[in-house]
Structure 1
Amino acid sequence: MQFLFSTIFIFLTLLGFSQQTFSVYFDTAKYDLTSQESKRLQDWINLNSKSKILSMEGFTDEVGSISYNDTLSLKRVGYIYNQVQKKVPVRADFKTNGFGESKLISENKAENRRVTIYYLSEFQIELEEFIINDFKVQKSLDSLSIKALDKLNIHPKLALNEIVQKVPEGTLFNLEDIQFHFDSAVLMLNAKEELNKWFVVLNKNPNLKIIVQGHICCIPKDDILLSSKRAKAVMDYLVSKGVEKERIQYIGYGSTRPKFIIPEKNGYEALMNRRVEIVIQEK
């Protein structure tokens, strides 16, 4: 769980979002708050009723023994948790840590006597689903030997179902006709027509499982959120047609895996970078 917690912060950084933190401070040897700090905490609670807490960490200054300070830091975390519980949502894998005096950040003792709350803002919660999903799906992809369809000795004029039946797990299909409305995850009409072919294939092959990969073009800064939303839109469309959700996974790569250098030289290169791919996960 701690590894997944760290991964969330890594992905938030990649997406251009700074880590959200809030700290409250304590008097020497105390684990309850002064009236001034209590007001600061209540103001934070009022502003963050729709945020989500990931973790809390407690700290002390160096006054007292190491064991005393370890216990004191945990008491401080427990006190703050009791103040915020049922007022601000927490993740299912919420973590608390007491570091005592082991992580002093300032020569000013007052700044070391604190509890720090790590959280996702209301806006960032939308990212949580995609961050955790992409992390898990990448582990599935890492277990496969990926090879593009055009690198295999398969006759290109075969029907899609015949091709799928012939190729090994890990085969990657590039879906050039899957297009979206500008800067959105809304499928265009021709994209749905192309996906209907995949619905037929999935319907005929009940053991078939796939992973949808989303990519974007044109901007060097990775927009993993948009590419994930587009890949999810493909999954959602197939599920809406009747495919079991457990048979489809999705992941977004932003612009981290372009076929052509960004910025692209022409529309064709942009089209090749702005693509959706399907990987055969299991047959």
Structure 2
Amino acid sequence: MIKYLFFVCLLWSGTIFSQDQATFYFDVDQDYLNRTSEVKFTRWLQDNQQIKISRIEAYCDSTASFAYNKRLANSRAEHIKKRLEENTILIDSTAIVVAFGDDFIGATQHGIHRKVVVFYQKIVRNSDLIIPSLVQNVNTVNPLEAPVTLTSIDLTTQLQKAKAGEFIILQNVNFKFNSEVMVDPAADILKELLRFMQLEPTLKIEIQGHICCNSDPKDIKLSTRRAKAVRDYLISNGISQQRLSYKGFGSNKPLFILPEKNEKERAANRRVEILIVQK
């Protein structure tokens, strides 16, 4: 049994935290993919539907001015980002988009540095790794609201980097069917949020609840109760009510258009976010 758990842990760590990258090239002075990379990009999209983008880096060569190259690199990054969004590829809420002009080592190697590098991680569902003691009771969770584990930068790092007005998705905050009762591992992420708020007494947040699969714009009751449940957890552990507010949006602010096409889209729409109000 110990060997089995050890093997599963190795499999888990090797899958969830590994990060891949794909590189696509552009012709000189162009912000759309060259013919070869267009074919590669299309095939890559077909083979990588269950991924999350963590970083996009765009580069230019040094054949023009720094300002021009910076603008061109940014256009290349935005081109790829738009293509990913059009293909409903999940982009992490903390994803970083970086545009380099010719301000990097190797910029004079023209052809190989007219490129965009996409860093991404595979999305791993709980059902992909079956550990008997961790399997949820199938009678307590709606199949359309089953927990989905997404790889991400840890919450503390996101909170440290976030500015007022920015949103952070609380990964793995899941609930029982048609209920505001949370399902583990929500406790872990909420403990992390609690610790950060204890260390940063000036931080104020708004907790926002969202649901999937419901086209009625007036039905916000469940999402409101779930947002309130997160707020109540923080208050019960000593965080001042003055630092917390909450709001439910139902399905009015989906990341993917309703009706969702698949479980990836339902999982993305079914979420709890926090808005940084003051830091």
TM-score grouping bracket, smaller chain normalisation:
0.3 to 0.5
Q: Which has the larger radius of gyration?
A: 1
TM-score by length of 1: 0.44
